[in-house]
């Protein structure tokens, strides 16, 4: 049991990668604090995991007061937080000419300001636990796609946040690391591509340039990698930003909006 007696707060954890992490961490002995904007979905996953193993906090990370409120609520679930996983993110598409101030500000608020403020609010608890933060970023932080400039910028900022706080909080024995996740087949991603006009079987007809292995990453793959970074096994490593993708980023052309012919 690699996470025995650990309490882990995972933002954006009622679906997709966050939900996969919650399931994986509980199997390793952790208690998890779920977060989302849908009470029914959050409580359903909590019931699946077991109410003794999971709590749920409701909140919209775009709201200025939300990180502090969520930090307080998370501590009320089990009395402590050993690890914070900043997983929640907006991935809404928008080209440069379509990106207005309101869109840009909301993207930055959820994807960058909220992780910053959650770390700030939970720092006393993380210091007591000599705990860790795992930020979930994206390979698009390195450059991004033309239809995701605000998203890519927010994830680039998250990399700087990770390295800065790793250096800043090292003397407090709070570790901060990041996973830059590649193209992953979540339910939301599947539906997004259907909305883009792709056929129902698009995950099975991907070009090799998009998925050399023949398939996309799955949420469970990311959860398995995350397990190492929130566990004592990764101590004392901090400040690492790890790309989780099935091809090297350097040498490829990242500015592609993947389409299936």
> What is the distance between the alpha carbons of residues 21 and 36, in angstroms, rounded to a whole number?
14
* 45 three-state secondary structure: helix
Is 151 noted as a catalytic residue in this protein? Answer: yes
CA–CA separation, 165 and 133 (whole Å): 10
What are the residue ranges of helices labelled H in 86-245?
101-108, 114-129, 149-169, 187-195, 219-230
**Torsional sign, CA 152, 88, 107, 196:** positive
- Could you tell me the sign of the dihedral formed by the alpha carbons of 109, 140, 170, 1, in that order? positive
Bridge partners (DSSP) listed for residue 8: 32, 83
Helix/strand/coil for 199: coil
| 95 vs 76: CA distance, rounded Å | 41
**Spatial separation of the C-alpha atoms in residues 216 and 233, rounded to whole Å:** 27
Kindly name the residue from 151, 190, 228, 247 that is annotated as catalytic: 151
Listed in sequence order, the residues at least 6 apart from 237 whose beta carbon sits closer than 8 Å to its beta carbon are 175, 177
Helix (H, G, I), strand (E, B) or coil at 25: helix
- Give catalytic residues, as residue numbers: 151
């Amino acid at each position: 049991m690699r996470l025995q007696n650990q309490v882990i707060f995972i933002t954006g954890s009622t679906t997709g990668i966050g939900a996969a992490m919650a399931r994986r961490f509980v199997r390793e002995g952790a208690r998890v604090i779920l977060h989302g904007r849908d009470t029914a979905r959050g409580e359903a996953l909590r019931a699946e995991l077991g109410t003794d193993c999971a709590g749920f906090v409701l909140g919209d990370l775009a709201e200025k007061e939300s990180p502090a409120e969520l930090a307080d609520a998370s501590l009320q679930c089990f009395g402590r937080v050993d690890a914070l996983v900043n997983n929640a993110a907006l991935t809404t598409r928008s080209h440069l000419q379509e990106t207005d101030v309101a869109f840009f500000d909301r993207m930055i608020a959820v994807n960058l300001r909220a992780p910053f403020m959650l770390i700030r609010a939970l720092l006393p608890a993380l210091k007591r636990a000599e705990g860790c933060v795992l930020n979930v970023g994206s390979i698009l932080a390195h450059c991004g796609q033309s239809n995701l400039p605000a998203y890519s910028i927010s994830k680039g900022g998250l990399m700087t946040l990770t390295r800065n706080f790793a250096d800043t909080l090292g003397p407090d024995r709070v570790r901060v690391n990041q996973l830059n996740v590649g193209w992953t087949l979540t339910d939301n991603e599947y539906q997004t591509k259907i909305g883009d006009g792709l056929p129902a079987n698009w995950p099975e007809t991907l070009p090799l340039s998009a998925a050399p292995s023949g398939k996309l990453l799955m949420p469970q793959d990311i959860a398995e990698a995350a397990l190492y970074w929130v566990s004592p096994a990764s101590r004392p490593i901090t400040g690492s930003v790890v790309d989780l993708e099935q091809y090297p980023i350097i040498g490829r052309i990242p500015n592609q909006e993947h389409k299936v012919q």
